[in-house]
């Protein structure tokens, strides 16, 4: 159609019509101009509406707030072969922080907990958090946080410290990226790996299915898939991999920083609700104890791996309570509203592939507000 439209314009521009077929071309030419004109008017109007919508004063009107807890994972300084929405470009990250600093009161999670407990949040307030504990949190994110003097909390899955292994999601992403195979046979299904786009789709489908199983079977299956994808040539994380986990020297430096707080994220990054109570306790306690060994202080902050409502249960909540955790963060999307349980705080996940406009809307939870409006009407 675009090609056809282009041809019509070329022919129309060449001169006036002298026969009926050329008359049709002139009519179409006029119609195309009209459509083009309408399109650019609609574009100008929607750009205007968007610009108005995105004005901080307007966004604040819609903001239910008063607290947005942002969730990041990793920061990268060069593009990945297969982009991961959890790994954000450092320049985009810096721009987001600057915007945040300009329009929000950015506080540490501990400070936010105090404010929430005393119902004392008066201004739009934000907290920055990182899940998992990737080495790039120290190498790339931390210097930007220092430049902007903004506090953040990093939740560590402590099993991976000083190892060459990573969380299963990163291991899988790495294996799908580097595999020379054109397809994967798994659970009776054939997954296309012939292009990056197909790899991305296949990875997403495999990852979602894996999350349904108990932790040990998930890990066994990940190992089998990685072995299959590597064709006997082990796929390891290279030194520059964004999935490399924090080493203890970096954690020690972060622990000493007045800008960084550390929290637990289980020991092996397992989905708690899939585990028996005793294993949940080991996973939670170990991560809290290891964090304490770095900070020298009781660890009061925690984030649930995977973090949806179905990924933790009453057992998890009572283990956290018994171990003195004051705030636990989910990955359920939303802002804090008075009355939200402190062990089930919601967050706004930052999608590394989203535009700055989308980031601004999510920061003020505009999507959540719109969803809420529709939910109320239903
Ligand atoms: Zn995680």
Are 251 and 156 in contact by the 8 Å Cβ rule? The answer is yes
**pLDDT value at position 244?**
96
| Peptide bond connecting 66 to the previous residue in cis, omega within 30 degrees of 0 | yes
**pLDDT value at position 10?**
31
- pLDDT higher than threshold 70 for residue 193: yes
**pLDDT value at position 16?**
35
Second-level CATH architecture of 66-164+243-377: Alpha-Beta Barrel (3.20)
pLDDT band at residue 5, thresholds of 50, 70 and 90?
A: very low
Cα of 47 to ligand 1 centre, how many Å? Answer: 36
- pLDDT higher than threshold 50 for residue 58: yes
**pLDDT value at position 13?**
33
**pLDDT value at position 151?**
98
- For residue 70, which of 293, 371, 354 has the smallest C-alpha distance? 354
Cα of 155 to ligand 1 centre, how many Å? Answer: 8
E strand or H helix that includes residue 348? strand 345-349
- pLDDT higher than threshold 70 for residue 364: yes
pLDDT band at residue 64, thresholds of 50, 70 and 90?
A: low
pLDDT band at residue 319, thresholds of 50, 70 and 90?
A: very high
Are 160 and 167 in contact by the 8 Å Cβ rule? The answer is yes
pLDDT band at residue 257, thresholds of 50, 70 and 90?
A: very high
- pLDDT higher than threshold 90 for residue 40: no
Distance (Å, whole) CA 120 – CA 104: 15
Interval 251-270 mean pLDDT? 97
SS3 string of 128-167?
Answer: EEEEECEHHHHHHHHHHHHHHCCCEEEEECHHHCCCCCCC
Query: In angstroms, what CA-CA distances link 318 with 39, 66, 268, 280?
Result: 57, 27, 20, 11
**pLDDT value at position 190?**
95
Query: 7 or 275, which is more confident?
Result: 275
* Domain spans, the chain: 2-45, 66-164+243-377, 168-229
- pLDDT higher than threshold 80 for residue 53: no
DSSP one-letter string for 244-292: PBPPHHHHHHHHH-SSEEEEE--SS---GGGS-HHHHHHHHHHHHHHHH
Cα of 343 to ligand 1 centre, how many Å? Answer: 16
**pLDDT value at position 22?**
54
**pLDDT value at position 3?**
32
Tokens of 280: 């949940």
The model's pTM is: 0.83
**pLDDT value at position 33?**
73
Cα of 51 to ligand 1 centre, how many Å? Answer: 34
Cα of 144 to ligand 1 centre, how many Å? Answer: 22
Cα of 311 to ligand 1 centre, how many Å? Answer: 12
Summary mean pLDDT of the chain: 87
Q: What percent of the chain has pLDDT over 90?
A: 67
**pLDDT value at position 15?**
34
The lowest-confidence range among 98-112, 202-216, 231-245, 307-321 is: 231-245
Cα of 135 to ligand 1 centre, how many Å? Answer: 14
- For residue 93, which of 352, 364, 358, 363 has the smallest C-alpha distance? 352
Interval 101-113 mean pLDDT? 96
The lowest-confidence range among 25-39, 143-157, 248-262 is: 25-39
Distance (Å, whole) CA 347 – CA 331: 6
Interval 338-342 mean pLDDT? 90
**pLDDT value at position 184?**
95
* Residues facing 106 on adjacent strands: 126
Are 64 and 371 in contact by the 8 Å Cβ rule? The answer is no
**pLDDT value at position 366?**
79
Cα of 252 to ligand 1 centre, how many Å? Answer: 20
**pLDDT value at position 339?**
86
Cα of 238 to ligand 1 centre, how many Å? Answer: 21
Q: Which region holds residue 296: left if phi is over 0, alpha if psi is between -120 and 50, else beta?
A: left
CA 50, distance to chain mean position in Å, is 23
**pLDDT value at position 37?**
74
Interval 193-217 mean pLDDT? 90
Q: Which of 73-77, 239-243, 273-277 is modeled with the greatest confidence?
A: 73-77
Distance (Å, whole) CA 55 – CA 232: 54
**pLDDT value at position 283?**
97
């Amino acid at each position: 159609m675009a090609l056809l439209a282009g041809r019509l314009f070329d022919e129309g521009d060449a001169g006036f019509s002298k026969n009926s077929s050329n008359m049709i071309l002139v009519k179409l030419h006029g119609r195309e101009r009209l459509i083009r004109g309408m399109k650019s008017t609609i574009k100008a109007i929607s750009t205007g509406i968007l610009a108005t919508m995105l004005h901080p004063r307007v966004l604040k009107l819609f903001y239910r707030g008063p607290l947005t807890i942002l969730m990041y994972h990793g920061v990268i300084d060069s593009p990945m072969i297969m982009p991961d929405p959890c790994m954000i470009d450092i320049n985009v990250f810096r721009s987001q922080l600057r915007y945040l600093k300009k329009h929000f009161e950015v506080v540490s999670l501990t400070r936010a907990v105090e404010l929430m407990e005393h119902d004392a949040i008066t201004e739009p307030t934000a907290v920055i958090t990182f899940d998992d504990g990737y080495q790039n949190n120290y190498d790339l994110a931390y210097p930007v946080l220092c430049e902007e003097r903004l506090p953040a909390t990093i939740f560590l899955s402590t099993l991976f410290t000083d190892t060459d292994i990573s969380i299963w999601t990163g291991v899988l992403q790495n294996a799908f990226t580097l595999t020379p195979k054109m397809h994967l046979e798994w659970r009776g299904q054939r997954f296309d790996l012939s292009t990056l786009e197909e790899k991305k789709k296949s990875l997403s489908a495999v990852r979602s299915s894996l999350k349904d199983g108990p932790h040990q079977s998930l890990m066994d299956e990940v190992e089998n898939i990685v072995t299959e994808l590597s064709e006997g040539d082990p796929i390891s994380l290279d030194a520059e991999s964004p999935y490399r986990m924090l080493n203890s020297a970096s954690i020690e430096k972060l622990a000493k920083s007045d800008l960084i707080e550390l929290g637990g994220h289980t020991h092996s990054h397992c989905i708690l609700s899939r585990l028996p109570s005793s294993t949940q306790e080991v996973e939670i306690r170990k991560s809290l104890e290891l964090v304490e060994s770095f900070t020298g202080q009781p660890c009061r902050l925690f984030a649930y791996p995977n973090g949806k409502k179905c990924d933790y249960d009453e057992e998890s909540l009572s283990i956290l309570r018994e171990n003195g955790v004051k705030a636990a963060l989910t990955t359920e999307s939303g802002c804090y509203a008075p009355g939200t349980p402190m062990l089930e705080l919601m967050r706004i996940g930052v999608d590394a592939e989203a535009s700055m406009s989308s980031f601004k809307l999510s920061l003020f939870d505009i999507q959540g507000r719109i969803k809420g409006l529709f939910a109320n009407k239903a």
